Amino acid sequence: MAAIDLHDLTKAWGNFTAVKRQSLAIRDGEFMVLLGPSGCGKTTTMRMIAGLEEPTSGDILIGGQRVNDLAPRERDIAMVFQSYGLYPHMTVADNIGYPMKLRGMGRAEREAAVRAAADKVELGAFLHRKPRELSGGQRQRVALARAIIRRPRAFLMDEPLSNLDAKLRVSTRAEIKHLQHELGVTTVYVTHDQIEAMTLAHRVAVMQGGEIRQLGTPEDIYDQPADLFVAGFIGSPAMNLLAGEIQDGRFTAPGGIAVAVRVAHRGAAVLGIRPEDLRVLPPGQGDVAAAIYTVELTGEATLVTADVGGARLSARADRGFRAGIGSAIGLALDTSRLSIFDPGTTLRIKDAP
Amino acid sequence: MRDRTLKYLLLVPAAVLVLGTTLWPLAVSFTTSFRDWRLTRSVTPGPFIGFEHYITAATDDPEFLNALTVTATFVLIDVTLTLVCALGLALLLRRAGVLQSLTRAVLILPFAVSPALVGISFRFMFNAEMGVFTWLAGAVFPPLQGVVWLGDRSAALLVLVFSDAWRWVPYMTLVVLGGLAALPREPEEAARMDGAREWQVLRDVTLPALLPVLAIVGILKTVFALKMFDQVVTLTGGGPGSSTVTLAYLVYSIAFRWYDMGYASAVAWILTAMLMGLAVWYTRLVLRKPDA
Ligand SMILES: Nc1ncnc2c1ncn2[C@@H]1O[C@H](COP(=O)(O)OP(=O)(O)OP(=O)(O)O)[C@@H](O)[C@H]1O
Ligand SMILES: [Mg+2]
C-alpha cells in the first residue's frame, strides 16, 4: 500500500504527445479512476506507472520513492491489462497462480489461493481450461483474478470489466469495490464507462487529449463540471448545453428561455443543466414552453427530448409519463443546479458569493 | 461438363512437367534400388534382386554404418548449435535500436554465399599453416596452437558443423525474429508485472509461445543437415579417413566413384525416406490449426 505521485509526467512518440505534463497525487488507499474518451492517454499513463513504458520526462513516485528507474517487477504492482495478457499455454489455474508461484508459495497453499481468487470472479468451474477455450468476459476475469490473488502496493486496472455482460459487470464491480475497501490497496482504474467511474471512485480524473481536465470526487465532477468537455462527457444522457447571454443576472437564450443566475459574469455564456434537473410539466406551466421532439422509455424513467426555439433539451420525466410527439409541454429548471460556462475559455464560471 | 474437362486439360502441362522432372526420376531411382546395376559391367540396368541392397546396407556395410553415424552426429550438433545461436541472436536483435536494425539488415549476407564457396573459404581459414582461424585459435588459447584442424577426425567434423552453422544461423535468426515479432507483447509484460525476472519471462512465457516456430526451424534445419554435401566436397573431401563422409556424400561416392548405381540408389532412398518422414511432420506442424 502506497501513495502514487505523478510529477509533470509526459510521454511523446515522435512529435505526438500522448500524455502532457500530467501531475496527479493519488493518496494511499485511494480508488482513483481515470476517465476519458478513447485515445486520451489513459492506458499510456497506467503503463508508465507500471514501468512498461518509459516516460519522456517527469517523475513517478510510489510510496515517496522515485521509481522511474525501477523495473516493473521491483515496483510491486499488480495490473489487469486491457487486452488481458493471459499466458496462452497455461491453464486458468496456472495463470492465476503464476504470481504466487514466482513468490515461491507451496503447491497446496497456492491451490487454495487460486480457488479463492477464482471464486471471487465466478471462475471456479473453469480452472482447468486454457485461455483459448474461454469467452472474452471469462478471460477478463482470469486477468482480474491473477491481479487480486496478490497483495501488492497498488492495483492498476485497465478497463477490467469492458467485456462482461451487464449483470456480471454490476456484480464484479461491487466485488472490486468491496475488495479494494477491504484490502485498502491504492487502485488506479481506467474506464470510459462513467457509471463505473461514479460508483467506484473516491476521486475521478477526467482526461482528454493527454491532459487531466478535472480531478475531483464523483459528486464534484457530476454537479460542478470544470469545463464544457467534462460537462458534455459525464452523464447519460449528457448535460444540456444552451448558448445564450447573461444580462443583469438573467440568462437568456432563443426560444424564450430566461432564468435568474447567480454569477457575476455578463455577456455570452453557456448554460448547462442535467436532464434530471428539468421537470416536465403541462403546457403553460414552468419556465419555458416547449414541444415534444421524441419520447424514449428506459424502464426506470422516460427521456423526453423537447424542442425549445430550435434547441434540443433532454429531460428525465417520471416513468409513467406519456405524450405524443409534437404535443406542447412546459419545462421547469432547477435553478439551484445550473452550471454556467464561458464559451471563450470553456471553463465553468463560479457562482458569485 | 465441358468446363470441367477444360479445367483438367489446363492442368496437364503443369502435371507433365512435375511428373517428368520430379516423380519420374524418383520412380526410376526407386526401381534401380532393387536392381543390380554396376556401370563397370554394363551401361544398362541389370536384373531385379529384391531387397538385397537394403539388406547389405543394414547388415553388412561398415561404410554405410559409418556414414550413418557421421550424419547423425553432424545433424545433432549442427541443429542444436544453429537453434541455440539463432534463438540467442534473435532475442538480442529483438529490441529496437540502430545497432539492432543494422545487424538485422546484414544478417542475410552469409546465406547468399554458395555452400560450395563456404566450404572453400573455411578450408583456407582452417589451413594448418596459413589459416586465419588456426592462428586465431592458437593466439587466444595457446594449447590449440599447432592443431591441424582438418587433419583430426573429430575436429574436422566440428569444422564442418561450424561452416554449416555459419551459413544457416543468420537465416534462422531472421525466421525466429519473425516469430518473435508476431508474439503479442502483453503476456510478457504481464509476467514482468507478476514479478518474473527476465529469464523467467523467457522460460515461462516467451519460449512456450515460440515453440511452434522453433519446432519448424528445428525440422527444417534437420532436413538440410541430413542432406549435407557441398561443404563435404569442398572442405574435407570426406576425410580424414572417412570421418566426415555423410550419407549424401556416400551416395555420391558409391555412384560416381565406384559406379554401383543400384546400391547408390538404395542408400539414396534410405536418406529420402528419412527426409520424407520429416517433411510430413513439418507439413503437419505448419498446417496445424493455430491455437490462439
Ligand atoms: N506505441 C505507441 N506509439 C505511438 N503512439 C501510441 C503508442 N501507444 C499509444 N499511442 C497513442 O497514444 C494515444 C493514447 O493511447 P492510449 O492507449 O493511452 O489511449 P487510451 O486512453 O487508453 O484509449 P482507449 O480507451 O481506447 O484504450 C493514442 O492516440 C494512441 O494512438
Ligand atoms: Mg486504453
Q: What pLDDT, on the 0 to 100 scale, is given for residue B290?
A: 54
The residue of chain B nearest to residue A49, with distances taken between CA atoms, is: B193
Q: Helix-strand-coil percent breakdown of chain B, rounded to 5?
A: 75, 0, 25
What is the edge-to-edge ordering of all strands in the sheet holding A267-273? A257-260, A250-253, A240-247, A267-273, A339-341
Q: Residue A323's pLDDT band (boundaries 50, 70, 90)?
A: confident
Q: What pLDDT, on the 0 to 100 scale, is given for residue A56?
A: 94
The residue of chain A nearest to residue B187, with distances taken between CA atoms, is: A85
A85–B186: do the CB atoms touch at under 8 Å? yes
B57: pLDDT strictly greater than 80: no
Find out whether B73 and B157 touch, Cβ atoms under 8 Å.
yes
B1: pLDDT strictly greater than 70: no
B40 CB neighbour count, 10 Å cutoff: 7
Model pTM score: 0.81
> B195 Cβ partners below 8 Å, 6+ apart?
A73, A76, A99, A102, A103
Q: What pLDDT, on the 0 to 100 scale, is given for residue A54?
A: 92
Kindly state the percentage of chain B with pLDDT values over 90: 23
Q: What pLDDT, on the 0 to 100 scale, is given for residue A156?
A: 94
Residue range B62-287 forms a domain whose CATH class is mainly alpha
Kindly state the percentage of chain A with pLDDT values over 90: 61
Q: For residue A85, give the nearest of B187, B200, B291 by CB distance.
A: B187
Q: What pLDDT, on the 0 to 100 scale, is given for residue B289?
A: 59
- B205 or B144: which carries more pLDDT confidence? B205
A226: pLDDT strictly greater than 90: yes
Query: Region A217-234: what's the mean pLDDT?
Result: 93
Distance of CA A5 to the CA centre of its chain: 20
Looking at the domain A240-341, which fold is it?
OB fold (Dihydrolipoamide Acetyltransferase, E2P) (2.40.50)
Query: Region A253-264: what's the mean pLDDT?
Result: 85
- Helices (runs of H) and strands (runs of E) counted in chain A: 9, 20
Kindly state the percentage of chain B with pLDDT values over 70: 98
pLDDT in tens, B126-144: 777 777 777 777 778 877 7
Rounded CA separation B181/B186 (Å)? 13
B228: pLDDT strictly greater than 50: yes
Residues of A in contact with B209 (CB under 8 A): 88-89
Residues of A in contact with B205 (CB under 8 A): 87
Question: How many residues comprise chain A?
Answer: 353
Q: Residue B292's pLDDT band (boundaries 50, 70, 90)?
A: very low
Residue-range domain boundaries for chain B: 62-287
Query: Region A253-272: what's the mean pLDDT?
Result: 87
Q: What pLDDT, on the 0 to 100 scale, is given for residue A44?
A: 94
- B96 or B199: which carries more pLDDT confidence? B199
Query: Region A122-138: what's the mean pLDDT?
Result: 89
Provide the mean pLDDT of chain A: 90
Query: Region B36-58: what's the mean pLDDT?
Result: 81
Kindly state the percentage of chain A with pLDDT values over 70: 100
Q: For residue B193, give the nearest of A50, A89, A132 by CB distance.
A: A50
Query: Region B153-165: what's the mean pLDDT?
Result: 87
Provide the mean pLDDT of chain B: 85
Residue-range domain boundaries for chain A: 4-229, 240-341
A99–B187: do the CB atoms touch at under 8 Å? no
In CATH terms, the superfamily for domain A4-229 is: P-loop containing nucleotide triphosphate hydrolases (3.40.50.300)
Find out whether A290 and A328 touch, Cβ atoms under 8 Å.
yes
A/B interface, count of CB pairs below 8 Å: 63
Q: What pLDDT, on the 0 to 100 scale, is given for residue B189?
A: 93
Q: Cell for A299? A: 424502464
